[in-house]
Structure formats: structure tokens, C-alpha cells
């Protein structure tokens, strides 16, 4: 198990991590780290009061996370909206480009718009329209390309014999060799017509918009709106959706302006009706002017509004930016300015969101401020916790000798490394010097650069070498440059020689170029021939491909494709002038057309049959759909009924809740004993339960009302009984008091009548002497206790002495002793107060001392940490020696010993320790900052020492003063006691006087009787405690005069018995009250149980209703499922999938059997029979079609066989031609190869000529002549 310190340390590390994560905005991880930190703090037992703060912070962060997610959602929404806006702008731009005829640019814009919409989260179905538009445009582009494809011009051959192809582009050849491009022309015409139609619609729309604007200027709003609406209709027909939205906003604005204008006109018309004609003219003129002014005002107001609007939105943007930059005050200022601007133009709908945003920013600002405060708090707590942990980890600060040895080894290794680098440096410099002697300047500079890099690694102290090496590098560079100039001069001489040679080579090159040009011309002629052959070959292959595709499409009965393929093949053959094959192809086209006609006739027959079948199916489906429609209407009616039931159930639920609330209120009134209020509430609750027809509950409430009324009567009866018992008790007390007073009167009479029987003189004197001696002994004992400060014992003795003096009738001494008692009590109180003051002072002192010590430690530790941080880098460089570390450690240990000595108040030793520490730290080169702090600490300790000495002196003086006062007090009391003893001895003779004694006794007696009268009065008033106290006083007084007190003792006992009896009565009353309360609780519990039972019954009822509702819902779902199945079956019938339809009808039948719909089951059975009949008919039809298709296939196969035979013959002939073409191609390829070789040799010969190697050049020219002879280029051989 981990120590509390380790747990606290882990808590600290988690808190640090949490704060970092919070700064990095990783809130979720921060929360988990805060949670772990709180758990570790709980386990460690440190800073328990801070755990709640951590949990508060976790709560705040969770709240912040929620708000952040909301903010992110809003941001993502805004981003999506931005993306959508950009996409819509692109779509509008694409439409404009499409309209202008730039289809490729439009496609690019459409694609970029799709990318933006995909980013905004649009699905494939939403993007379908745009994609279809792109496909349409690509098709248009392809058509355009086919139309505008440039004609291929075949170049004319130089010889008239080789001119085979025409100068025109090969065109499409018809059935009889006619050239035509009818298909292309049709496509072009269609495209142009479509474009013209769109342009016409567009022009019409713009005309309407212009007209609308004119009407708007003339204040003819209805005409303007009509024109705008007509423009919308026209633009929707050509798919201009973006422009439609703008026009709709204009229409809305016009409607608003129209309302305002009409209201103004109405006011004017009312005014005009009431005034004269002349006045009206004047007014009309004024109105015209007013209108103009108002229009101007309106325009200026609009402009002003637009300016303010622009300013407001700019301010909002600036505010958002400032908020992101966390400049909340400035952001709020900007938002407030925006609000003022919007208010000035009465844009109230925009103000509230901005106000909400401002409030959010303020909340955010507050949260961040609180977070900063919490951070500061946590930082303080962390420092406190670190200090506490640091105290316990002092032992770990001292580093072991092994660590010091490791550091020493590291230093030695570092030193060795530096020596190695120095050696490497000097070797490189030597090498560079050697290279420099060899005049290899570039390598020398490289070596010097290496030396510079080593110097940079060596660090400080080598700066002089770097400057020297840099100077040498610059010198070497200058030498290198001078060497280059020499080389350049030599190069110039060589160039002059080369120039002379080049002039000779140029002459030869010119001659060769002439020859090359002549050869190239010849090559072009050959290439033209080759291209012609390639063109023939391509066209031939394409023609054969078309023939193959025609055969394939014929096999698949695609006759139009076959005809088209045959036509294409014929065209290709016409292009390469293979006229023999064209009649064969035309014959096959005719045969295919014949086949197509026969197939079309068959198809028409099939169509007629299918139409008849479809009619029958439609009739059947109409029956089913009509039935389904009826059932749906029934379901709708049931849904309405259900809605009404739900409303009624909701109303009932509300009334039930209100009723139960009233029952709870009634229950509370019953608990408080407000039975009338409870009955009224229950009666009111009956109305609620009557509304929802809960008769059982009403009966229960009525029974409860009856029970509450019975309970009310019982309570009233109990109150009457309690009143009666109280009256009886009062009567008994009066009887007892009368009895007591009578008894006391008789006793008083007896006491007054009785004579004082004097005791024997000798016995009385002996007893008095004995008691007197006892009193003196007690006084001596009290003096001893007083000298020791035992005030409680002294007071007890003095009270005993007072009783003894009262017994021997020394009444004069009693007040003196009582005065002494008072003095001692005062002294005791003073002593206790002094003790308290001393305790408080010592507590304050200890607290101050602790604070002082903690302050010194904290300051020193903080400064020490700062200094250690500053010294970390210097220590790394200097590598503190073991001796310095030991001195530093010794200094810290002296300071720590000083802290312990401060607690023991040994200030001189503390100061000497600090001085030693300062000397040690100074010796190892610590900075003045920390030493100044230590000196300040010494000054504060010296001031603390002076304060402590002063306090000590004051305490000593106070103690002396107290001692003197105590001695004086004891002396005074002892003197007083001596005097009193002398008095006692003197008075002994006087006390013996009988007369004084008798008088005294009489007086005491009278006083006692007075107190007795007072006691009687208190007894009559029922104050038993007061009467007992008075009777006890009487007993003391009578004891003083040795009067018999048995009657008084008996009286006291009787009063005590009476008091006990009264207490028992009170206890009985309490028991009765408790029983009553218990009964009431039982009664309330019974009512509660009844109500709970009823609630339980209600819940059961509700559950039953819910189950019924669920069953009904399931039935409805099954019904709906059955109808869906029937709809699927209907679709299957339409698709002629009769087996699937029958299966679906059977499924629907099972569902209707399950929900017991017999009528529907019969209907479905009938439908299944009809479908089976249709299925059989369809199968018979299929068999017929199969037979027909087999016959057709036979015809086609015979046709195919004939065609294949013909094609084979044609292919054989073509292959023969192909062989001859290939042989020719091989020959041409060989010639081309040899020609290339000859040109390469000629270039080589030219190179030899340029180098002056004439023999080699002659040899090559001979080889070239041989090659030209091989390829039959006889014209070139003489050259």
C-alpha cells in the first residue's frame, strides 16, 4: 500500500497534468485527471477541504463541455450553411456558363458544387438532379464534338500514280454509295431548336421582369407582381431555381409596399371626399410634392438603413473575431454597438440572438475568471502541499557518493571528448596546410570549414582560433580566384584554335544539311505512303469489327443495331474504295429489315394480347384498391376515435393527479388537526373523481369524511375530559393547600406556646468550646490552602466555619467570614481570568511563532527553488565539485537546524547557523539574491529575539507583581485571622450573657415566622420549589437558636410529596398526549393505506387499459402490414410474378385470420383463384411465344449460316490482300531501319570531321553509300 505522501504526490502530478490539459483544451482528459487527483487526495488525507473545490471544477468543466459541444454544433451548422451558399453560387454560375454555351466550364463548376454539397452532408438522392445535369451536358458536348469534328485531310503524294485518297474528309456513304450526314444535321437542328427555345423563354422572362420594374416605379404593384409571377413560371420551365428565390423576395417586398401605399391612399381619399374641388386641387398639388418628398425620404432612409445594416453586420463579424481572440470586453462593446444600430433601424428580430450571444460571452468570461481564480487557489494549495511533502522528503535531498562519482566520471569523459576534439582539430589544420601547399584550394577550404565546425562544438575559449581560420579561408579564396583568372586566359587561346577548326567544320556541315533536307523530303513521301496504308488497314479492321458486331446484334435480335453496323461497315469499305463488298452488305441489310418487319408484326400481336390482359388485371386491381381504400377510411375513422380517447385519457389523468394532490393536502390538514379544512378539501376532491367516473374512490373519500368527522368528535370529547380532569386537580390542590395552612397555623401556635427549655449550662458550654476549636482548626487549614492557591477548598472550609459559628451563636463573626469568602471568590475569579489571558497569549504567541517560522521557510524555499533553477544551467556547465555540493548541503542542513532551534527559542544559535550558512554559500559562489534573503531572515530573527526577551521580561515582572500581591493578601488574611481570634477570646465572656442570647433567639424566631408566612403564600400559589427554599431557610434560622425543626422538616417532606404527585400527573398527561398522537397517526396511516390501495387499483386499471391499447395497436399494425402485403402483391401481379403474388396473398390471409377478419379472408381466397387462372393463361401464352420464337430462331440460323459463308469468302480475299500489305510493310520497315543507321553514321562522320579525323569520316561515308545502294537510294550515292 502507498504512503499518504506518495498518494499526495500523485494527486499533485495529476492536478498539474489536468491543468495542462485544460490549457490545451483537452477537457475530457482533464476531468478524468481531476477525478483521479481527488481520489488520491481522499486516500492521502491531505487538503481534504480542497477536494470539494476539485469536484466543483469538474462540474464546471462538464458544463463547459456541454456548452462547447453546443457551440461546435452551431459552428458546424454555420460551416454547412457557408458550404451550401458557396455551392449554390457555383450552381448559379454553372447555369450561366451553360446558358452562354461554355459546357465544359459549367461541368467543372457543377462538379466543384457537388464536392461542396458532399462536404455539407448531402446524400446521393439529393445530388441526383445535379449529376443528371452533368451527364446531359457531357452527352451534349460529345454530340457537339461529333458534329464539329474536323475533316481529316490526306496529303497529296508527289507522284500522280500514288494519289489514291481524295482531298476531302471521308463522309458517311449510304446504301447506294451516296455521301450524306443526315443524322448529324438532325442532331444539330434539335440542339439549335432547344437552345433557341430556352433563349426565347429566357428573353420573355427578362421582358416580364423589366415590365415589372416599370410598374413598380409607377406604383402599379398588382401588375408588377403578376409580371414577376409570370417570369417565375417561365424560369422554372428552364430550371433557373436560384433566380426564382430572388424574384420571390421581390414579390414579398412589393406586397408589403402595396399595403403601405393603399393605406396612404385610403387616408387621402377620405380627406378628398370631405373638401371642396378648389381645395382638392391645391391639396393634390401639395400631395404630389409630399409624395416626392416622402419618396426621397424613403430612398434616403433606405440607404441610411442599408449603411447601418452594413455597419451592424461588420461590427458583429468584428465581435465574433474578438471573441475567438478572447478579447471579451471589446467583443461585448462591438456587439452592443451592433444592437444599437439594429435598434435604430427597428430590426428587433436580429437583436435577441445578439443579446443571447453577449450573455453567453459574459458567462464564458465569468467562467474563465473563476477558472483562473481556481487555478491560483490550486497553485497555492499545491505549493502548501509541496512544502509539507518537502519537509518529509528532506532526507532524499542529500545525494549519495555514488551519484557524485557518476558525475565525476561524466566530467572526465566530457574532458576526454574535448581533448579528442582538440587533437582532431589540430590534425585537420595540419592536413589543410599540406593541401594548401599542393595548391588544392577547394579541398583546403573544405578542411578549414571542418575545423570551424569542431571549434563551434568545443564552445567558449576558442574564439581567437575561429577568427584566424576565417582569415585564412578568405586568403585561400583569393588565391583560388587568381588561379582561375590564369586558367581563363589559357582557355581563351584554346577557344581561338577551336574557332578556326569550327569554320572548316561549318562548311562541311552546310553541305551535309543540304543532303539531309533532300533526304527528309524523300522520307516525308515514304511516310505519306505508310500513313495511307495504315489508314486503309484501320478502316478495314473497323469495317470487320462492325460486321462482327452486326452478327452479334443479329443473334440478340437487335435489328436496328445490325443495320447500323452494316451501314458503318459499308461506309468504311466505301472510304477505302472496296466497292465489291458493298452490294453484299446491302443485300444482308435488306434481309435484316425483312426479319425486323416480321418481328414487329409478332410484337404488335403480343402487345394487343398484353393490353387485353392488362385491362383484366386493372379491373381486378381496381376492385382490390377500392376495397383497400374503404378499409383505410375505416382505419382513419378509428384513428380519430383513438385521438379522442387519448384526449379523454389525458383529461382524466390530469383530473386524477389534481384529485390525488387534494387528497395529500387533506392528509396534511388531518395531521395538523385541521379537520374542517380536510373535510372541505375531500368534498372538493369528490368533484374531480366524479368527472372521471371513479365511483369506488368517491365512496372511499365519503367514508374518509365520515371517519374524519368521527375523529373530530372524539378529539372534542377528549378535550372536554382533559378540561374536567384539570378542574378536579385544581380542586384537590386547593383542599391540600387549605389543609397545609391549617396545619401550619396549629404548629405555629404550638411553637409560640411552647417555652424555651434551656439546656444545662455545662453541656452547652462544652459543645460551644468544641465547635469553636473546630472552627479555629478549620481556619488554620484554610490559611494553608490559601497559601497554595486552593481557593475551592478554602471556600468550602469557610462555609463550614460559618455554620459552626451560627451553631455557637457567634453572629458578629459570620459577616466578617462572609466578607472574606467574597474576597477569596473575587481573587479566584481574577486568578482564572489571568490564567485565561495567559493561555490566550500563549496560543497567539505559538500561532505567530509558527507563522513566522513557516514564512521564513517558505521565503527561503521559494528563493532556493528560484536560485536552484537559475543555477541549473551554470551547474551543468561548471559541474560543481563534490566539495561544493557538500558545503551547499551543510549550509541547507544548518538552516534546517536553525528552523528547529527557532521552535525551541534558541535565537543566538539560529543566527550563528544562518551566518555560517551564508559564509558557506558565499564560498561556493551563490548569488547575492539568496544571501540577501538569508540576511533579511537573520534580521527578522533578531527582531523576534528582542520581542521574545521583552515578553519574557514583562512576564517576569507580572509574575513578581502577582507574587507580591498574593503575599500581601495572605499576610492581610493571617493578620485579620489573628485579630479575629483575639476578638473571639474577648467575646467569650459576653456571649455567656443570657439576656443577649434570649433577645437574639426571639429575633431569629420572628424572622423565621415571617419567612414561614411567605412560604405559605408561595405554596398557595402552587410554587412548590419557592416554598421549599423558604422552609429550608426557616430551618437554618431555627437551628441557629436551637429551636425544634421537626414540624418544618415534616412540612418540607409533604410539599415534596405533593410536587412528586404533580409531576406524575404531568407525566400521565404526556402519556395520554402521546397515545392520542399515536392513535391519530394510526388513523392517518389507515387513510393512507386505503388511498394507496386505490392508487394500486387505479394503476392496475391503467395497465389493463394499456395492454388493451397495445393489443389494439398490434392489431392495427398487423392490419397495416396486411394492406402493405396486398399492395406488394398488386405490384407483383403488374410484373406478372403470379407465384410471388399468391404467396403474398396467403401471408395477408394468415394476418386477417389472426385478427379475425372473415370478410377479407373470403375476398383474398377469391383473388387467389383469379390469380391462379391468370397464371395458367400466362403460361399458355408463354408456350405460344416460345413456339413462335423457336420458328423465328430457325429462320435466323439459316440466314446466319448463309451470311457466315459469304463472310468467310470475303475474309479469305482480304487476308490475301493483307499478306501482300504486310510484306510491303516489312520492306518499308527494313528501309526505315537502314535509313536511320545511315543518318547516324553521317552524324558520326560529321563529328570525326569536327575532330579532324578524316580517315574515319571517309570510311563512314563509304558505308553510308553501301546502305543507300541496299535501300535503292541511287540519287544520294553520287553526293
Give the other-Cβ count within 10 Å of 171's Cβ: 15
Q: Is the pLDDT of residue 344 over 60?
A: yes
What confidence category does residue 1181 fall into, taking pLDDT thresholds of 50, 70 and 90? Answer: confident
Picking from 13-27, 291-305, 588-602, 1142-1156, which range would have the lowest pLDDT averaged per residue? 291-305
> CB–CB of 172/185 below 8 Å?
no
pLDDT computed for residue 878 by the predictor: 46
Q: Is the pLDDT of residue 632 over 80?
A: no
The predicted-structure confidence for 416-432, as pLDDT tens digits, reads as follows: 777 777 777 778 877 77
Give every CB contact of residue 102 below 8 A, 6+ residues apart in sequence. Answer: none
The predicted-structure confidence for 767-783, as pLDDT tens digits, reads as follows: 767 777 777 777 777 77
> CB–CB of 106/251 below 8 Å?
no
What confidence category does residue 188 fall into, taking pLDDT thresholds of 50, 70 and 90? Answer: low
What confidence category does residue 946 fall into, taking pLDDT thresholds of 50, 70 and 90? Answer: confident
Half-sphere exposure of 20 (CA within 13 A, CB side): 7
Region 1090-1094 average pLDDT? 65
Segment (H or E) for 173 = strand 172-173
Region 513-537 average pLDDT? 67
pLDDT computed for residue 172 by the predictor: 37
Give phi and psi for 1216, each to the nearest 5: -60, -45
Give every CB contact of residue 1059 below 8 A, 6+ residues apart in sequence. Answer: 1024, 1025, 1028
Region 201-227 average pLDDT? 78
Q: Is the pLDDT of residue 51 over 70?
A: yes
Give 624-680 as a DSSP string. HHHHHHHHHHHHHHHHHHHHHHHHHHHHHHHHHHHHHHHHHHHHHHHHHT-HHHHHH
Q: Is the pLDDT of residue 167 over 60?
A: no
Q: Rounded CA gap, 310 and 806, in Å?
A: 108
Per the prediction, the chain carries an average pLDDT of 71
What torsion do the CA atoms of 98, 103, 106, 110 make, to the nearest 10 degrees? Answer: 110
Q: Rounded CA gap, 1008 and 1127, in Å?
A: 119
Region 1013-1041 average pLDDT? 76
The predicted-structure confidence for 640-654, as pLDDT tens digits, reads as follows: 777 777 777 777 777
The predicted-structure confidence for 499-514, as pLDDT tens digits, reads as follows: 766 665 666 566 666 6
pLDDT computed for residue 1207 by the predictor: 65
The residue among 458 and 798 whose pLDDT is bigger is: 798
> CB–CB of 332/354 below 8 Å?
no
CATH of 406-497 among 1.10.287, 1.10.3470, 3.40.50, 1.20.58: 1.20.58
Q: Rounded CA gap, 977 and 983, in Å?
A: 10
Q: Rounded CA gap, 1163 and 1269, in Å?
A: 100
Q: Is the pLDDT of residue 1193 over 60?
A: yes
Give 538-589 as a DSSP string. HHHHHHHHHHHHHHHHHHTT-HHHHHHHHHHHHHHHHHTT-TTHHHHHHHHH
The predicted-structure confidence for 311-329, as pLDDT tens digits, reads as follows: 887 888 788 778 777 788 8
Query: Helices 1158-1251 and 463-555 meet at what angle, rounded to 10?
Result: 120
Region 988-1014 average pLDDT? 69
Segment (H or E) for 1024 = helix 1024-1040
Region 1049-1059 average pLDDT? 75
pLDDT computed for residue 823 by the predictor: 77
The predicted-structure confidence for 706-730, as pLDDT tens digits, reads as follows: 777 777 777 777 777 777 777 776 6
Residue 995, judged by CB atoms within 10 A of its CB (0-12, 13-18, 19+), counts as exposed
> CB–CB of 884/924 below 8 Å?
yes
Q: Rounded CA gap, 681 and 688, in Å?
A: 11
What ranges in 438-462 are assigned the alpha helix state H?
441-458
Segment (H or E) for 180 = strand 179-180
Helix%, strand%, coil% for the chain, nearest 5: 90, 0, 10
Q: Write the CA distances from 635 to 69, 627, 632, 641, 642, integer angstroms.
A: 44, 12, 5, 10, 10
pLDDT computed for residue 620 by the predictor: 66
784-789: Cβ within 8 A, 24+ apart: 786/824, 786/970, 786/973, 787/970, 789/831, 789/966
Q: Is the pLDDT of residue 1184 over 80?
A: no
Region 183-194 average pLDDT? 58
What ranges in 1135-1253 are assigned the alpha helix state H?
1138-1154, 1158-1251
Q: Rounded CA gap, 736 and 725, in Å?
A: 16
Q: Is the pLDDT of residue 845 over 50?
A: yes
Cell of 324: 475567438
The predicted-structure confidence for 1116-1164, as pLDDT tens digits, reads as follows: 777 777 777 777 777 777 677 777 777 777 877 777 777 766 666 676 7
Cell of 811: 453572629
Chain centre distance of CA 532: 74
HEC profile for 338-370? Answer: HHHHHHHCCCHHHHHHHHHHHHHHHHHHHHHHH
- 3-class SS at 1028? helix
Q: Rounded CA gap, 538 and 542, in Å?
A: 6
Give phi and psi for 172, each to the nearest 5: -70, 130
Length of the chain: 1279
Q: Rounded CA gap, 696 and 689, in Å?
A: 9
326: left (phi over 0), alpha (psi -120 to 50) or beta: left
The predicted-structure confidence for 101-153, as pLDDT tens digits, reads as follows: 777 778 888 888 888 888 877 777 777 777 887 888 888 777 766 665 544 44
What confidence category does residue 879 fall into, taking pLDDT thresholds of 50, 70 and 90? Answer: very low
Q: Is the pLDDT of residue 183 over 60?
A: no
Give the other-Cβ count within 10 Å of 695's Cβ: 9
- 3-class SS at 249? helix
What torsion do the CA atoms of 270, 274, 279, 281 make, to the nearest 10 degrees? Answer: 40
Nearest to 380 by CA among 858, 42, 717: 858
347: left (phi over 0), alpha (psi -120 to 50) or beta: beta
pLDDT computed for residue 291 by the predictor: 61
Grid-cell match 372534542, residue found: 716
pLDDT computed for residue 851 by the predictor: 61
Give 49-87 as a DSSP string. GGHHHHHHHHHHHHHHHHHHHHHHHHHHHHHHHHHHHHH
Cell of 1184: 405460344
Alpha-carbon Rg of the chain, whole angstroms?
Answer: 63
Give the other-Cβ count within 10 Å of 206's Cβ: 13
Q: Rounded CA gap, 910 and 896, in Å?
A: 10
DSSP classification of residue 275: S
pLDDT computed for residue 405 by the predictor: 65
- Residue-wise burial string across 784-803, b where 16 or more C-beta atoms lie within 10 A, e elsewhere: ebbeeeebeebbebbeebbe
Segment (H or E) for 172 = strand 172-173
pLDDT computed for residue 877 by the predictor: 43
* CA–CA–CA angle 1002, 1006, 1010 (5° rounding): 170
- Full-model pTM: 0.25
Amino acid at each position: 500500500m502507498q504512503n499518504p505522501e506518495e498518494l499526495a504526490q500523485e494527486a499533485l502530478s495529476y492536478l498539474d497534468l489536468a491543468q495542462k490539459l485544460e490549457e490545451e483544451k483537452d477537457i475530457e482528459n482533464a476531468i478524468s485527471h481531476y477525478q483521479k487527483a481527488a481520489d488520491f487526495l481522499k486516500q492521502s488525507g491531505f487538503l481534504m477541504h480542497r477536494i470539494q473545490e476539485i469536484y466543483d471544477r469538474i462540474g464546471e468543466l462538464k458544463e463547459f463541455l456541454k456548452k462547447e459541444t453546443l457551440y461546435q454544433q452551431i459552428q458546424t451548422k454555420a460551416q454547412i450553411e457557408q458550404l451550401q451558399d458557396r455551392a449554390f453560387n457555383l450552381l448559379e454560375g454553372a447555369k450561366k456558363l451553360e446558358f452562354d454555351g461554355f459546357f465544359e466550364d459549367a461541368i467543372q463548376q457543377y462538379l466543384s458544387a457537388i464536392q461542396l454539397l458532399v462536404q455539407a452532408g448531402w446524400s446521393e438522392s439529393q445530388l441526383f438532379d445535379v449529376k443528371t445535369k452533368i451527364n446531359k451536358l457531357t452527352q451534349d458536348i460529345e454530340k457537339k464534338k461529333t458534329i464539329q469534328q474536323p475533316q481529316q485531310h490526306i496529303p497529296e503524294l508527289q507522284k500522280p500514280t500514288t494519289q489514291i485518297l481524295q482531298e476531302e474528309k471521308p463522309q458517311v456513304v449510304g446504301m447506294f454509295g451516296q455521301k450524306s450526314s443526315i443524322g448529324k444535321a438532325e442532331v444539330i437542328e434539335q440542339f439549335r431548336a432547344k437552345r433557341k427555345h430556352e433563349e426565347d423563354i429566357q428573353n420573355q422572362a427578362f421582358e416580364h421582369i423589366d415590365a415589372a420594374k416599370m410598374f413598380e416605379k409607377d406604383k402599379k404593384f398588382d401588375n408588377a407582381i403578376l409580371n414577376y409571377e409570370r417570369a417565375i413560371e417561365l424560369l422554372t420551365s428552364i430550371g433557373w431555381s436560384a433566380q426564382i428565390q430572388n424574384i420571390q423576395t421581390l414579390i414579398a417586398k412589393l406586397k408589403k409596399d402595396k399595403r403601405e401605399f393603399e393605406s396612404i391612399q385610403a387616408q387621402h381619399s377620405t380627406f378628398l371626399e370631405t373638401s371642396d374641388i378648389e381645395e382638392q386641387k391645391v391639396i393634390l398639388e401639395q400631395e404630389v410634392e409630399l409624395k416626392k418628398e416622402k419618396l426621397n425620404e424613403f430612398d434616403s432612409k433606405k440607404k441610411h438603413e442599408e449603411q447601418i445594416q452594413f455597419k451592424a453586420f461588420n461590427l458583429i463579424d468584428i465581435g465574433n473575431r474578438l471573441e475567438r481572440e478572447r478579447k471579451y470586453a471589446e467583443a461585448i462593446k462591438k456587439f452592443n454597438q451592433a444592437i444599437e444600430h439594429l435598434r435604430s433601424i427597428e430590426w428587433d428580430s436580429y437583436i435577441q440572438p445578439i443579446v443571447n450571444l453577449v450573455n453567453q460571452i459574459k458567462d464564458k468570461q465569468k467562467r474563465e475568471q473563476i477558472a483562473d481564480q481556481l487555478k491560483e487557489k490550486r497553485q497555492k494549495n499545491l505549493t502548501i502541499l509541496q512544502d509539507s511533502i518537502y519537509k518529509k522528503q528532506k532526507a532524499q535531498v542529500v545525494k549519495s557518493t555514488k551519484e557524485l562519482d557518476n558525475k565525476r566520471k561524466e566530467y572526465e569523459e566530457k574532458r576526454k571528448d574535448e581533448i579528442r576534439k582538440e587533437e582532431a582539430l589540430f590534425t585537420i589544420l595540419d592536413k589543410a596546410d599540406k593541401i594548401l601547399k599542393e595548391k588544392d584550394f577547394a579541398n583546403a577550404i573544405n578542411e578549414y570549414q571542418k575545423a570551424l565546425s569542431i571549434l563551434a562544438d568545443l564552445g567558449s575559449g576558442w574564439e581567437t582560433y575561429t577568427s584566424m581560420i576565417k582569415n585564412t579561408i578568405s586568403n585561400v579564396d583569393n588565391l583560388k580566384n587568381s588561379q582561375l583568372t590564369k586558367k581563363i586566359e589559357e582557355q581563351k587561346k584554346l577557344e581561338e584554335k577551336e574557332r578556326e577548326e569550327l569554320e572548316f567544320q561549318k562548311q562541311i556541315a552546310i553541305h551535309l544539311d543540304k543532303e539531309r533536307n533532300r533526304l527528309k523530303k524523300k522520307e516525308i513521301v515514304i511516310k505519306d505512303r505508310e500513313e495511307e496504308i495504315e489508314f486503309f488497314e484501320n478502316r478495314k479492321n473497323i469495317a470487320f469489327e462492325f460486321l462482327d458486331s452486326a452478327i452479334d446484334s443479329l443473334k440478340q435480335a437487335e435489328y436496328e443495331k445490325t443495320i447500323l453496323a452494316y451501314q458503318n461497315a459499308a461506309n468504311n469499305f466505301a472510304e477505302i474504295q472496296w466497292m465489291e463488298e458493298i452490294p453484299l452488305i446491302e443485300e444482308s441489310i435488306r434481309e435484316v429489315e425483312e426479319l425486323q418487319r416480321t418481328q414487329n408484326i409478332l410484337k404488335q400481336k403480343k402487345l394487343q394480347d398484353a393490353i387485353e390482359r392488362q385491362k383484366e388485371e386493372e379491373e381486378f386491381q381496381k376492385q382490390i384498391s377500392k376495397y383497400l381504400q374503404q378499409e383505410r377510411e375505416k382505419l382513419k375513422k378509428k384513428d380519430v376515435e383513438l385521438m379522442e380517447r387519448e384526449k379523454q385519457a389525458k383529461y382524466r389523468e390530469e383530473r386524477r393527479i389534481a384529485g390525488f394532490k387534494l387528497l395529500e393536502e387533506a392528509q396534511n390538514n388531518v395531521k395538523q388537526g385541521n379537520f374542517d379544512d380536510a373535510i372541505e378539501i375531500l368534498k372538493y376532491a369528490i368533484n374531480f373523481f366524479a368527472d372521471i367516473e371513479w365511483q369506488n374512490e368517491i365512496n372511499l373519500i365519503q367514508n374518509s369524511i365520515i371517519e374524519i368527522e368521527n375523529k373530530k368528535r372524539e378529539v372534542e370529547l377528549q378535550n372536554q375530559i382533559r378540561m374536567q380532569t384539570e378542574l378536579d386537580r385544581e380542586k384537590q390542590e386547593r383542599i391540600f393547600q387549605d389543609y397545609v395552612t391549617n396545619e401550619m397555623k396549629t404548629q405555629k401556635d404550638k411553637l409560640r406556646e411552647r417555652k424555651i427549655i434551656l439546656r444545662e449550662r455545662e453541656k452547652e458550654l462544652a459543645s460551644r468550646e468544641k465547635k469553636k476549636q473546630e472552627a479555629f482548626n478549620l481556619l488554620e487549614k484554610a490559611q494553608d490552602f490559601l497559601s497554595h492557591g486552593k481557593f475551592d477548598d478554602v471556600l468550602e472550609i469557610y462555609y463550614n466555619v460559618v455554620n459552626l459559628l451560627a451553631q455557637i451563636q457567634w453572629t458578629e463573626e459570620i459577616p466578617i467570614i462572609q466578607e472574606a469568602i467574597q474576597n477569596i471568590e473575587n481573587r479566584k475569579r481574577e486568578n482564572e481570568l489571568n490564567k485565561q489571558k495567559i493561555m490566550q497569549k500563549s496560543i497567539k504567541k505559538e500561532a505567530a511563532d509558527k507563522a513566522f517560522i513557516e514564512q521564513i521557510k517558505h521565503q527561503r524555499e521559494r528563493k532556493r527553488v528560484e536560485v536552484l533553477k537559475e543555477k541549473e544551467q551554470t551547474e551543468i556547465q561548471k559541474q560543481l565539485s563534490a566539495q561544493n555540493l557538500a558545503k551547499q548541503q551543510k549550509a541547507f542542513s544548518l538552516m534546517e537546524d536553525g528552523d528547529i532551534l527557532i521552535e525551541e527559542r534558541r535565537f543566538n544559535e539560529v543566527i550563528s547557523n544562518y551566518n555560517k550558512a551564508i559564509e558557506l554559500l558565499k564560498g561556493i559562489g551563490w548569488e547575492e539574491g539568496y544571501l540577501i534573503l538569508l540576511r533579511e531572515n537573520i534580521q527578522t530573527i533578531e527582531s523576534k529575539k528582542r520581542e521574545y526577551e521583552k515578553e519574557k521580561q514583562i512576564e517576569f515582572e507580572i509574575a513578581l507583581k502577582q507574587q507580591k500581591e498574593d503575599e500581601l493578601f495572605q499576610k492581610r488574611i493571617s493578620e485579620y485571622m489573628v485579630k479575629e481570634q483575639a476578638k473571639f477570646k474577648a467575646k467569650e465572656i459576653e456571649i455567656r450573657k443570657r439576656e443577649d442570647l434570649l433577645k437574639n433567639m426571639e429575633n431569629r424566631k420572628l424572622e423565621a415566622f415571617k419567612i414561614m408566612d411567605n412560604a405559605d403564600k408561595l405554596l398557595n400559589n402552587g410554587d412548590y420549589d419557592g416554598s421549599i427554599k423558604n422552609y429550608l431557610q426557616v430551618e437554618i434560622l431555627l437551628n441557629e437558636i436551637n429551636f425544634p425543626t421537626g414540624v418544618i422538616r415534616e412540612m418540607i417532606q409533604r410539599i415534596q410529596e405533593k410536587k412528586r404527585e404533580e409531576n406524575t400527573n404531568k407525566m400521565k398527561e404526556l402519556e395520554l398526549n402521546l397515545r392520542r398522537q399515536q392513535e391519530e397517526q394510526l388513523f392517518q396511516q389507515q387513510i393512507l393505506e386505503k388511498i394507496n390501495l386505490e392508487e394500486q387499483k387505479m394503476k392496475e386499471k391503467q395497465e389493463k387499459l394499456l395492454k388493451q391499447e397495445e393489443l389494439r395497436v398490434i392489431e392495427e399494425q398487423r392490419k397495416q402490414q396486411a394492406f402493405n402485403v396486398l399492395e406488394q402483391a398488386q405490384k407483383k401481379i403488374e410484373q406478372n410474378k403470379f407465384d410471388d403474388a399468391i404467396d403474398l396473398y396467403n401471408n395477408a390471409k394468415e394476418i386477417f385470420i389472426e385478427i379475425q377478419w372473415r370478410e377479407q379472408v373470403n375476398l383474398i381466397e377469391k383473388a387467389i383463384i383469379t390469380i391462379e387462372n391468370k397464371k395458367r393463361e400466362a403460361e399458355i401464352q408463354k408456350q405460344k411465344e416460345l413456339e413462335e420464337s423457336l420458328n423465328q430462331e430457325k429462320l435466323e440460323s439459316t440466314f446466319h449460316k448463309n451470311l457466315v459463308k459469304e463472310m468467310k469468302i470475303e475474309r479469305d480475299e482480304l487476308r490475301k490482300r493483307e499478306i501482300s500489305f504486310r510484306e510491303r510493310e516489312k520492306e518499308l520497315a527494313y528501309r526505315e531501319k537502314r535509313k536511320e543507321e545511315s543518318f547516324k553514321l553521317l552524324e558520326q562522320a560529321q563529328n570525326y570531321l569536327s575532330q579532324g579525323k578524316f580517315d574515319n569520316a571517309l570510311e563512314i561515308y563509304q558505308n553510308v553509300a553501301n546502305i543507300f545502294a541496299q535501300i535503292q537510294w541511287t540519287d544520294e550515292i553520287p553526293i
